[in-house]
């Protein structure tokens, strides 16, 4: 027995009382013989004429039993099949159980609005314009607000017009709109088709035209068939309908607020019962707003007429009263007494006319009916402005909020709009967030730790299970779906996704202290929103607003909200927050990186493929935005655009936009002309060279006096280039400089440049490019291009010495050449250790992880370790010394391979290295397949040819040795047929030639060619983007040589000693904050004023970008076609309206012509009669 059968009942007549009008029928409407199991005694039948029909009642004369009709109806309508859930139930069913059925069993989403449509039961015609406006407005109101539409559900009258509206506007497959039909079970035709428990039944909507019963409307999605035991009678279904509407109105539209689901009545045409229903609605407590659609006829027009002619005192003028009474009599064909009673009810309705809204499609200030419905709700109830805004948010109706709620002069309590902002963010209402910001919501004050955590833990709006997976990964333990995510968890997730040396502000010591203090003071629990409302609304004064900025920990709230939107996978919201606030370019880069990392994690977690693809798409969108903004900024001002790439981002782990773009792998961004110009300036340092730079640099290295003859850039030309300098490094060539504070020393490159400029001005009088000799030498040796050639020349000397060392006989004690090689490699090892320690990550293990991730660092570490082992072994006596020499011989392979990295600097050779790397990385699966083929042949061949082989490790070598060389053309012809040279050939050896032929065909012809084809494909793929690849890889080389000391190994030890002395004698005390944030890397340090100018410039670029984008969009062909189509549709409607009016005028003229003809005939007859009368006289 199903749950529905156990909870819901049907009603059947249990006592036959014959009707006085039709003795063959019971008062329930059924024929007496259609009462199975109910006996009809003769005395009852004879007494029937003396009985009154009213004596029969549902409560006394019906019995209940478990329902026998529920399941799914399939309506066949042309090419489409429409499905609808249905149940037969008693009109007085339990409302809690009924709502449970609809929401839980039928999976209907609880409505945010109920539109109860009332009107005529019989068919009536609506003018085409009236019907079109009704259809469009009703569907729009339901779709935008998530409303339920409730009607009688039958295929006639107003329900049919509602069905036509849904059919014309809604997709039959999606069924987004819930249209609930509540018809009486007793008036449904073809009831037998519906009887069955949890069945899927076919239902025919074409009814018998002679029948008084009605068929169901196929466009309704759910049917509640109210059973009161009668047949062919209406009435009690309205009780179920009204009770259900009241019960739904008690459900909370939002868990935070006490606002129930609003109900609105919509009157279209209708009879006297509709006026009675309006009377019930407006007199209810609270009153239910009613929208009357004027122009649809009968009850709707009478209500509209009365409403319009009410005076200020709430009375009708005497002549209007008479007119209304006549309208009631004529419209409903009622007698005087009944008309007076209905008029009295109508006047009682007008006493509550503030709850009645008249919608006239012909009025001058015509608006859509959906607006009329929603504004009627706002006007017809006593809701506060905050509650009205909550409703508009729940409905997602921005137009309502703009026109009727957020209006000029409306007073708002402190924090009311902030709560609305929180709701808008939770519900993913981008337009509302924009509107609230325009109306003065201060995002600095709005965004607090509690609210941001609440946003990350919200269950409303689009869900993102991936975030929970990521939190579980970073916490390295099981996390339930109910786990409350903290901002520190989010910080760990951000660091995990961005990778490398990135340090989130949420994991820094300063924020942790702030976070712990916040929860210690407020003891906020994530249970109910009202706790947040009271907290935010207390103690808010102008004085502590500025304190809130500091205490909240969010200097740039739009940045934090952007990261929230990205991690929650809310792309539209992320796009909105990207447009607002500072640092647009870096925000786009960070969003791109986060989305790309999330896409990778989604793929690794075996989530649905669509999730990964969707995240990749979002990543590309933000990557394109970053590129577009860079392009726009570059066109506006080249130097400012370059500054945007390398200025220090204090809110993004003190990184730079360029560094983040490289970590993302945003090749188009890094290969952009602006970025490449900056990289070229960084590569050249302060050297001003255009042609033959390599020749000039090498000559200057070999002949240092020629340095003074070189040209150098001025301070103005270097203002956009980040300088990787320590203040104390170049005080040696400035002579007596006034000492500066530690803070200034830490400061900034622009302060350093000011000191240098003063020195330049005091020592040299001349053009911008002139520098003192000491400064020229310093700038020359610190240029990355000079470091590159200096280190390369030293490396070539080292390789020559190492080559000589391994080629000649190894002496018991190292020779001078070998000592030089040893010193070079050991000094290189020290430099590698220094690189690890000065890298950006805070923890040592993270430093090592980031450093070793670089391929050449990994190979260098292997080469150094191998050499050190060989160096230790070479001091022993043979044969251990021989092992050391062999390690030397193997180790030199790594050092020669290191030469390949030097080619990467070259624009032509560099891309080939990338191709080689790509080929090696991607050929894994093909090599595995080749190995399988090789082993299958090798094992079989060895087993056949050597059946008596004793166990040994040489077997493993023999299996692969010859088959491997066969791939390269060595077929070992003499061993193909072993029986030719050896009479004692093993059994089965005749198979080996055949096996070898098959092996060579598969391996040599198919697999090798497949591998070549694969390499060819990789080559052509990368060849098309080779230029971009080289430009992208330039950053790594330039940064590598920027950070290297200018002296090459082994002289690099002098630089290390200099760094150590500098650190000891110029040590500056660091507080905890300094230790956390550090001051590492190549950045452009700007003053607050310069930073503000840069942010203003970036915002202007973003504004211009969107302005141009909107202009191009509005002028596009598709937009023009859409606009033209819209105008043509409007013209078509107007012409259709004119055509209808012309037809009406034609019909009126024909009628008038007919009446004039009749009048003419009567006049002629009158004349003839007068003539006859005069003749008689």
Average pLDDT, integer, range 939-959: 85
Give the total number of structural domains in the chain. 5
Q: Is 768 in the same domain as 816?
A: no
pLDDT band at 56 (very low <50, low <70, confident <90, very high): confident
C-alpha–C-alpha distance, residues 69 and 86, integer Å: 8
Q: Is 449 in the same domain as 547?
A: yes
C-alpha–C-alpha distance, residues 996 and 1016, integer Å: 28
Q: Is 842 in the same domain as 743?
A: no
Most confident of 244-248, 898-902, 1152-1156: 244-248
Query: Comparing 214-228, 799-813, 859-873, 946-960, which segment has the lowest mean pLDDT?
Result: 946-960
Q: Is 991 in the same domain as 929?
A: yes
Asked if the structure places residue 1115 within a domain, the reply is no
C-alpha–C-alpha distance, residues 379 and 388, integer Å: 10
Asked if the structure places residue 722 within a domain, the reply is yes
Average pLDDT, integer, range 594-623: 87
Q: Is 877 in the same domain as 940?
A: no
| Residue 860, domain extent | 809-903
What pTM does this model have?
0.78
The predicted-structure confidence for 179-195, as pLDDT tens digits, reads as follows 999 999 999 988 888 99
Residue 75: strand pairing partners: 82, 203
C-alpha–C-alpha distance, residues 500 and 850, integer Å: 6
Residue with tokens 């009879």: 271
**Residue 738: per-residue pLDDT:** 37
Asked if the structure places residue 981 within a domain, the reply is yes
Estimate to the nearest angstrom the gap between the alpha carbon of 224 and the chain centroid.
Answer: 38
Question: DSSP characters for 587-642?
Answer: HHHHHHHHHHHHHHHHHHTT--HHHHHHHHHHHHHHHHHHHHHHHHHHHH-HHHHH
pLDDT band at 747 (very low <50, low <70, confident <90, very high): very low
pLDDT band at 1031 (very low <50, low <70, confident <90, very high): confident
Q: Is 749 in the same domain as 860?
A: no
Average pLDDT, integer, range 80-90: 90
**Residue 1119: per-residue pLDDT:** 67
**Residue 183: per-residue pLDDT:** 94
Sheet containing strand 263-268, strands side by side: 196-203, 69-77, 80-90, 222-227, 178-181, 148-151, 114-119, 263-268, 290-294, 356-360
Asked if the structure places residue 951 within a domain, the reply is yes
Do 1022 and 915 contact (CB within 8 A), yes or no? yes
Asked if the structure places residue 252 within a domain, the reply is no
Is 167's pLDDT higher than 60? yes
**Residue 590: per-residue pLDDT:** 94
Asked if the structure places residue 74 within a domain, the reply is no
Do 817 and 804 contact (CB within 8 A), yes or no? yes
Packing angle of the helix pair 657-664, 638-646 (nearest 10 deg):
70
Q: Is 636 in the same domain as 612?
A: yes
Q: Is 604 in the same domain as 491?
A: yes
Asked if the structure places residue 1157 within a domain, the reply is yes
More confident position, 763 or 630 = 630
pLDDT band at 395 (very low <50, low <70, confident <90, very high): confident
User: Could you tell me which of 802, 863, 801, 869 has the C-alpha nearest to residue 832?
Assistant: 863
C-alpha–C-alpha distance, residues 156 and 183, integer Å: 11
The predicted-structure confidence for 502-521, as pLDDT tens digits, reads as follows 888 888 888 888 888 877 76
Q: Is 867 in the same domain as 771?
A: no
C-alpha–C-alpha distance, residues 769 and 1157, integer Å: 108
pLDDT band at 320 (very low <50, low <70, confident <90, very high): confident
Q: Is 883 in the same domain as 927?
A: no
**Tokens in use for 391?**
């409703």
DSSP run (H or E) holding 775: helix 773-781
C-alpha–C-alpha distance, residues 1017 and 567, integer Å: 36
Average pLDDT, integer, range 939-954: 85
CB atoms near residue 366 (< 10 Å) = 12
Give me the helices (H) in 234-335, please. Answer: 236-249, 272-283, 298-308, 318-332
**Residue 875: per-residue pLDDT:** 87
Q: Is 774 in the same domain as 815?
A: no
Q: Is 1017 in the same domain as 1069?
A: no
Burial class, 1003, CB count within 10 angstroms (exposed 0-12 / middle 13-18 / buried 19+): buried
The separation between the first and the last C-alpha atoms of the chain, rounded to the nearest angstrom, is 97
**Residue 762: per-residue pLDDT:** 41
CB atoms near residue 155 (< 10 Å) = 22
C-alpha–C-alpha distance, residues 668 and 672, integer Å: 6
pLDDT band at 522 (very low <50, low <70, confident <90, very high): low
Asked if the structure places residue 1136 within a domain, the reply is yes
CA distances from 829 to 49, 731, 801 (A): 117, 29, 18
**Residue 510: per-residue pLDDT:** 86
Of 643, 670, 697, the one marking the end of a domain is 670
pLDDT > 70: what percent of the chain? 87
């Amino acid at each position: 027995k199903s749950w529905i059968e156990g909870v819901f009942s049907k009603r059947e007549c249990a006592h036959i009382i014959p009707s006085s009008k039709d003795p063959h029928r019971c008062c329930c409407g059924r024929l007496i013989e259609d009462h199975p199991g109910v006996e009809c005694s003769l005395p009852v039948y004879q007494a029937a004429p003396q009985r009154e029909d009213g004596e029969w009642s549902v409560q006394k004369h019906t019995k209940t039993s478990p329902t026998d009709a529920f399941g799914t109806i399939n309506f066949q309508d042309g090419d489409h099949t429409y499905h609808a859930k249905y149940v037969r139930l008693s009109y007085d069913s339990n409302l809690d159980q009924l709502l449970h059925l609809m929401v839980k069993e039928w999976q209907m989403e609880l409505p945010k609005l109920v539109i109860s449509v009332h009107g005529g039961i019989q068919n009536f015609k609506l003018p085409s314009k009236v019907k079109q406006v009704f259809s469009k407005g009703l569907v729009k109101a339901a779709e935008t607000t998530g409303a339920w539409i409730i009607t009688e559900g039958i295929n006639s009258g107003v329900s049919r017009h509602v069905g036509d509206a849904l059919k014309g506007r809604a997709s039959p497959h999606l069924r987004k709109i819930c249209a609930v039909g509540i018809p009486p079970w007793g008036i449904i035709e073809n009831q037998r088709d519906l009887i069955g428990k949890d069945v899927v039944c076919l239902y025919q909507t074409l009814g018998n035209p002679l029948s008084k019963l009605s068929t169901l409307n196929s466009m309704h999605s759910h049917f509640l068939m109210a059973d009161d035991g009668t047949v062919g009678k209406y009435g009690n279904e309205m009780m179920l309908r009204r009770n259900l509407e009241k019960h739904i109105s008690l459900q909370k539209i939002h868990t935070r607020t006490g606002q129930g689901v609003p109900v609105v009545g919509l009157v279209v045409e209708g009879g006297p019962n509709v006026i009675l229903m309006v009377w019930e609605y407006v007199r209810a407590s609270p009153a239910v707003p009613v929208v009357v659609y004027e122009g649809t006829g009968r009850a709707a027009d009478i209500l509209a007429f009365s409403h319009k002619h009410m005076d200020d005192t709430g009375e009708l003028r005497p002549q209007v009263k008479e007119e209304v009474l006549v309208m009631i009599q004529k419209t409903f064909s009622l007698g005087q007494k009944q008309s007076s009673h209905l008029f009295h009810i109508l006047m009682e309705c007008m006493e509550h006319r503030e709850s009645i809204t008249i919608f006239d499609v012909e009025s001058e200030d015509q608006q859509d009916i959906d607006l009329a419905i929603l504004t009627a709700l706002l006007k017809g109830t006593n809701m506060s402005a905050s509650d009205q805004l909550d409703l508009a948010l729940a409905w997602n109706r921005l137009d309502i909020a703009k026109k009727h709620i957020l209006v000029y002069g409306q007073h708002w309590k402190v924090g009311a709009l902030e709560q609305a902002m929180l709701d808008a963010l939770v519900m993913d209402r981008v337009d509302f967030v924009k509107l609230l910001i325009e109306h003065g919501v201060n995002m600095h004050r709005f965004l607090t730790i509690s609210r941001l955590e609440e946003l990350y833990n919200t269950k409303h709006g689009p869900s993102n299970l991936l975030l929970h997976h990521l939190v579980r990964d970073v916490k390295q333990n099981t996390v339930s779906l109910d786990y409350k995510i903290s901002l520190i968890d989010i910080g760990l997730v951000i660091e995990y996704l961005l990778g490398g040396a990135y340090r989130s502000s949420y994991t820094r010591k300063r924020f942790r202290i702030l976070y712990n203090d916040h929860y210690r003071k407020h003891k906020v629990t994530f249970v109910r929103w009202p706790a947040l409302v009271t907290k935010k609304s207390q103690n808010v004064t102008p004085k502590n607003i500025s304190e809130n900025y500091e205490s909240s920990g969010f200097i740039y709230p739009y940045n934090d909200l952007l990261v929230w939107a990205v991690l929650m996978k809310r792309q539209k919201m992320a796009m909105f927050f990207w447009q607002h606030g500072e640092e647009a370019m870096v925000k786009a880069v960070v969003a791109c990186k986060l989305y790309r990392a999330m896409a990778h994690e989604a793929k690794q977690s075996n989530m649905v493929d669509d999730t990964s693809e969707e995240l990749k798409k979002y990543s590309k969108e933000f990557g394109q935005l970053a590129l577009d903004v860079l392009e726009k900024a570059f066109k506006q001002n080249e130097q400012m655009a370059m500054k945007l790439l390398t200025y220090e981002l204090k809110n993004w782990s003190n990184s730079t936009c360029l560094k983040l773009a490289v970590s993302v792998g945003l090749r188009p961004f890094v290969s952009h002309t602006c970025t490449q110009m900056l990289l070229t300036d960084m590569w050249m340092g302060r050297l001003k060279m255009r042609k033959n730079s390599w020749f000039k640099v090498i000559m200057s290295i070999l002949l240092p006096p020629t340095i003074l003859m070189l040209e150098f850039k001025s301070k103005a030309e270097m203002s956009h280039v980040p300088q990787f300098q320590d203040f104390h490094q170049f005080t040696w060539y400035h002579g007596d400089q006034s000492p500066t504070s530690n803070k200034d020393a830490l400061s900034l490159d622009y302060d350093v440049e000011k000191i240098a400029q003063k020195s330049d001005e005091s020592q040299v009088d001349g053009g911008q490019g002139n520098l003192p000799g000491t400064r020229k030498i310093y700038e020359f040796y610190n240029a990355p291009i000079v470091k590159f050639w200096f280190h390369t020349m030293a490396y070539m000397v080292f390789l020559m010495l190492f080559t000589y060392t391994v080629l000649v006989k190894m002496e018991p004690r190292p020779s001078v050449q070998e000592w030089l090689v040893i010193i070079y490699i050991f000094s290189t090892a020290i430099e590698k250790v220094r690189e690890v320690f000065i890298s950006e990550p805070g923890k040592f293990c993270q430093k090592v992880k980031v450093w070793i991730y670089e391929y050449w660092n990994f190979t260098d570490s292997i080469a150094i370790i191998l050499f050190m082992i060989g160096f230790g072994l070479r001091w022993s006596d043979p044969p251990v010394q021989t092992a050391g020499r062999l390690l030397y011989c193997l180790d030199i392979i790594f050092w020669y391979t290191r030469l390949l990295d030097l080619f990467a600097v070259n624009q032509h050779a560099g891309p080939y290295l990338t191709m080689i790397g790509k080929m090696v990385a991607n050929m894994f699966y093909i090599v595995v397949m080749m190995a399988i083929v090789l082993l299958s042949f090798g094992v079989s061949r060895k087993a056949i040819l050597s059946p008596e082989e004793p166990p040994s490790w040489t077997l493993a070598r023999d299996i692969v040795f010859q088959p491997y060389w066969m791939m390269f053309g060595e077929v070992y012809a003499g061993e193909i047929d072993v029986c030719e040279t050896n009479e004692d050939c093993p059994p089965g050896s005749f198979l080996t030639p055949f096996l070898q032929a098959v092996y060579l065909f598969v391996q040599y012809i198919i697999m090798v060619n497949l591998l070549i084809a694969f390499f060819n494909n990789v080559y052509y793929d990368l060849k098309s983007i080779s230029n971009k690849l080289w430009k992208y890889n330039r950053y790594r080389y330039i940064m590598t040589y920027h950070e290297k000391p200018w002296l090459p190994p082994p002289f690099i030890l002098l630089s290390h000693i200099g760094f150590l002395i500098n650190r000891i004698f110029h040590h500056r005390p660091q507080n905890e904050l300094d230790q956390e944030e550090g001051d590492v890397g190549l950045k452009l340090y700007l003053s607050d004023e310069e930073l503000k100018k840069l942010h203003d410039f970036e915002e202007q670029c973003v504004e211009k970008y969107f302005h141009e984008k909107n202009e191009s969009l509005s002028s596009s062909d598709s937009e023009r076609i859409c606009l033209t189509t819209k105008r043509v549709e409007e013209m078509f409607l107007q012409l259709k309206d004119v055509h209808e009016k012309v037809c009406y005028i034609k019909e009126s003229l024909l009628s008038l012509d007919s009446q004039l003809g009749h009048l003419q005939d009567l006049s002629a007859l009158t004349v003839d009669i007068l003539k006859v009368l005069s003749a008689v006289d």
